[in-house]
């Protein structure tokens, strides 16, 4: 073991954090413990399931802590007894209080999925796509008591292709974060990196996404709806309603190069199906036409348009009040 490598407590919960944990282990960093959120019921049958980081820690033989609360003297005492040189977090899911931030002499580092100070908060990856950004990145920062307000150590940019969804971008950023993390740790511990304060005038906030984030407003431009579909996939997912009130999930879309038109009173009304063909179900929007490529009716399976276009006739109106 390299004695020059700082002893680390790693805090993370979802898949996003797994590459960073694996990279630290591969690079020989002593991981004293992994801290993650408690197991949660998942799936239709609500089976109690360990988070991805816990599963990885079990595989790697690393001790695991899963406190239900972290603002207690008991948890802070546990960390002090471990005596880490540094705490590293990646999508842990909670803001660390001052008594924990003060424990490691080298500080607490966080792997954040945006180019801070843009998109501080819980859902930077999703909102960068929903907002139609062409690029984003990873920031490795020193943590303070604020919401992603600490000093920046390292940043790296990554392009967002026009058809990339949030799940794909999350995976790409997770790998980039794992690549940058050892550089930040060694740079900080060897006094080779000078932390840079964030420019507060450029700060933006990425609020937590929920199911309503995916509710499609057909009066918006087709490009915005396409970004909404990408940015909410795989969770919470984009959706609309059918005339009978049932939900229709929208998994994959494309912006049409040209608009379809139909005759009659429904012509160009946002949410109207203009064409239902094997290559897609075309829907009018507030500006332009969007093509539904993969959809899922309530209680049904995910389907490609070529398998279900016949069920969605021209003139059918999507949307409306639940």
pLDDT confidence of residue 2: 46
pLDDT confidence of residue 265: 43
Q: Please report how many Cα atoms fall inside a 13 Å half-sphere around the Cα of residue 85, on the Cβ side.
A: 14
End-to-end CA distance of the chain: 60
Nearest to 20 by CA among 158, 174, 139, 214: 174
List the Cα angle 222/169/124 in 5-degree steps: 80
Domain residue ranges of the chain, discontinuous segments joined by + = 8-206, 211-311
pLDDT confidence of residue 123: 97
pLDDT confidence of residue 322: 37
Those residues whose C-beta lies under 8 Å from the C-beta of residue 136, and which sit 6 or more positions away, are 113, 114, 115, 119, 124, 125, 128, 157, 158, 160, 169, 173
d(CA 90, CA 82): 19
pLDDT confidence of residue 288: 92
Q: Which fold has domain 211-311?
A: 3.10.25
In the chain (322 residues long), the average pLDDT of successive 10-residue segments reads 80 98 98 96 88 98 96 93 98 95 98 98 97 98 96 98 97 98 96 96 97 97 97 97 95 81 61 89 94 95 91 90 40
pLDDT confidence of residue 42: 86
Domain 8-206 of CATH type 1.50.10.10: no
If you compute the radius of gyration of the chain from its CA atoms, what whole number of angstroms results?
23
């Amino acid at each position: 073991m390299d004695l020059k490598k700082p002893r680390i407590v790693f805090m993370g919960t979802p898949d996003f954090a797994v590459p960073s944990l694996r990279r630290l282990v591969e690079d020989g960093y002593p991981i004293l413990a992994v801290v993650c959120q408690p197991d949660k019921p998942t799936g239709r049958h609500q089976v109690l399931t360990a988070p991805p980081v816990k599963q990885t820690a079990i595989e790697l033989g690393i001790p695991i802590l899963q406190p239900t609360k972290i603002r207690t003297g008991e948890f802070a005492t546990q960390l002090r007894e471990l005596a880490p040189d540094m705490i590293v977090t990646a999508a842990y899911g909670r803001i660390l209080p001052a008594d924990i931030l003060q424990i490691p002499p080298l500080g607490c580092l966080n792997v954040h999925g945006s180019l801070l100070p843009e998109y501080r908060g819980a859902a930077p990856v999703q909102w960068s796509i929903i907002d139609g950004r062409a690029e984003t990145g990873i920031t490795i920062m020193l943590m303070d008591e604020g919401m992603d307000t600490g000093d920046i150590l390292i940043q790296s940019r990554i392009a967002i292709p026009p058809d990339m969804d949030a799940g794909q971008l999350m995976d790409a950023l997770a790998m980039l974060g794992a690549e940058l993390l050892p550089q930040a740790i060694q740079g900080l511990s060897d006094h080779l990196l000078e932390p840079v304060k964030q420019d507060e005038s450029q700060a933006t906030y990425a609020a937590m996404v929920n199911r309503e984030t995916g509710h499609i407003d057909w009066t918006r431009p087709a490009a915005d709806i396409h970004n909404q579909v990408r940015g909410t996939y795989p969770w919470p997912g984009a959706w609309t309603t059918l005339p009978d009130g049932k939900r229709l999930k929208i998994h994959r879309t494309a912006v049409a190069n040209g608009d379809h038109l139909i005759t009659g009173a429904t012509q160009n009304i946002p949410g109207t199906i203009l064409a239902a063909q094997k290559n897609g179900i075309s829907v009018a929007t507030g500006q332009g036409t969007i093509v539904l490529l993969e959809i899922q009716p309530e209680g049904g399976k995910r389907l490609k348009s070529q398998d279900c276009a016949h069920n969605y006739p021209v003139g059918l109106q999507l949307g409306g009040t639940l």
